[in-house]
Amino acid sequence: MNRALAIAAPVILVAVLLAIWEQACRALNVPAYFLPAPSAVAAAAVNTAPLLLASAWNTLSMALAALVTASLIACSLALVVSLSPLFEEAVRPIAVALQVTPVVAIAPLAVIWAGLDHPERAIVGLAAVVAFFPIFSGALTGLRAADPDLERLFDLYGATRTQRLSRLRLPSAAPFLLEGHKVAAGLAIVGAVVAEFVAGSGGAQGLAWRILEAANRLQTAKMFAAVLALALMGAGLHAAFQLAEREILARWSGRRR
Each residue's pLDDT tens digit, 80-137: 887 777 777 788 788 778 777 777 778 778 878 877 777 788 888 888 988 998 898 8
16 and 99 fall within a common domain? no
Q: Considering the domain boundaries, does residue 36 fall inside one?
A: no
Residue 257's pLDDT band, with cuts at 50, 70 and 90, is very low
161 and 199 fall within a common domain? yes
* Across 128-155, average pLDDT: 80
Residues 74 and 135: beta-carbon distance below 8 Å: yes
Nearest to 222 by CA among 212, 232, 234: 212
107 and 60 fall within a common domain? yes
58 and 17 fall within a common domain? no
Q: φ, ψ for residue 118 (rounded to 5)? A: -130, 65
Mean residue pLDDT across the chain: 82
Q: How many residues comprise the chain?
A: 257
More confidently predicted of 219 and 107: 219
For residue 26, give its domain range.
1-30
The confidence score (pLDDT) of residue 255 equals: 47
Which residues are CB-neighbours of 38 under 8 A, at least 6 positions away?
Answer: 18, 21, 22
125 and 16 fall within a common domain? no
Nearest to 129 by CA among 178, 184, 174, 89: 184
Q: φ, ψ for residue 27 (rounded to 5)? A: -70, -40
The confidence score (pLDDT) of residue 69 equals: 93
Task: Give the pTM.
Answer: 0.82
14 and 82 fall within a common domain? no
Q: Considering the domain boundaries, does residue 257 fall inside one?
A: no
Residue 43 pLDDT exceeds 80: yes
* Across 167-173, average pLDDT: 75
1 and 105 fall within a common domain? no
Nearest to 174 by CA among 214, 150, 133, 145: 145
* Across 8-32, average pLDDT: 87
* Across 207-222, average pLDDT: 87
82 and 121 fall within a common domain? yes
Residue 160 pLDDT exceeds 70: no
Q: Considering the domain boundaries, does residue 35 fall inside one?
A: no
